[in-house]
């Protein structure tokens, strides 16, 4: 017997890069909204069963909340949308490599897969600094892909900070 996740995994294997670029475009659109509001332009999308269940962008300034990163808000909204604190089978798309806080939240939510655009050399913990997905002390593993639309994601950040300086 095949469940929905098995079928989606099969489809993702066949069309993975194309699907990843499609969803990353959606995350980029969210990031641009953040930038327009004066927030660091990071966008995130949570996808389950081939559908977006949540989307968000950075909002720590507007919300006066240091934890209001795009990933955290998207995870909260996704959990609410599916009425479960576990997002088993979900993929989180984010324009920039996640920080420690966001990666920890993904572990607790049981995100299956993380896809991010540009690396974050100073604070990214997936590949750039701590390589947290490779650590063997977690009881949950997150598959990840990096570099999806990395140029566009990185340029959005560079342009934002260029204007601020």
Question: Cα–Cα distance between 95 and 81 in angstroms, integer?
Answer: 22
Residue-wise DSSP of 59-101: -HHHHT-TT--HHHHHHHHHHHHHT-S--TT-EEEEEE---HH
Give the per-residue pLDDT at 146.
97
For 87-134, the pLDDT digits (tens) are: 999 999 999 999 999 999 999 999 999 999 999 999 999 999 999 999
Give the per-residue pLDDT at 52.
97
Radius of gyration of the chain (CA): 15
Give the per-residue pLDDT at 16.
55
**Catalytic residue status for 71:** yes
Give the per-residue pLDDT at 96.
98
Q: Is the dihedral of CA 105, 111, 116, 120 positive or negative?
A: positive
Q: Which of 71, 97, 120, 152 is catalytic?
A: 71
Give the per-residue pLDDT at 18.
66
Give the per-residue pLDDT at 9.
43
Q: Which of 54, 48, 90 is nearest to 72 (CA)?
A: 54
Give the per-residue pLDDT at 122.
94
Tens of pLDDT along the chain (165 residues)? 333 334 444 444 444 556 999 999 999 999 999 999 999 999 999 999 999 999 999 999 999 999 999 999 999 999 999 999 999 999 999 999 999 999 999 999 999 999 999 999 999 999 999 999 999 999 999 999 999 999 999 999 999 999 887
Give the per-residue pLDDT at 50.
93
């Amino acid at each position: 017997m095949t469940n929905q996740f098995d079928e989606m995994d099969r489809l993702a294997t066949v069309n993975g890069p194309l699907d990843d670029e499609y969803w990353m475009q959606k995350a980029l659109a969210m990031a641009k909204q953040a930038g327009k509001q004066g927030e660091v332009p990071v966008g995130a999308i949570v996808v389950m069963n081939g559908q977006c269940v949540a989307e968000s962008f950075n909002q720590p300034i507007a919300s006066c909340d240091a934890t209001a990163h795009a990933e955290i808000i998207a995870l909260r909204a996704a959990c609410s949308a599916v009425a479960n604190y576990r997002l088993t089978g979900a993929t989180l798309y984010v324009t920039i490599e996640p920080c420690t806080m966001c990666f920890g939240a993904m572990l607790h939510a049981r995100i299956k897969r993380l896809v991010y655009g540009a690396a974050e050399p100073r604070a990214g913990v997936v590949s750039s600094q701590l390589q947290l997905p490779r650590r063997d002390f977690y009881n949950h593993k997150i598959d990840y892909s990096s570099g999806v639309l990395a140029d566009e994601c990185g340029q959005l950040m560079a342009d934002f900070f260029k204007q601020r300086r």
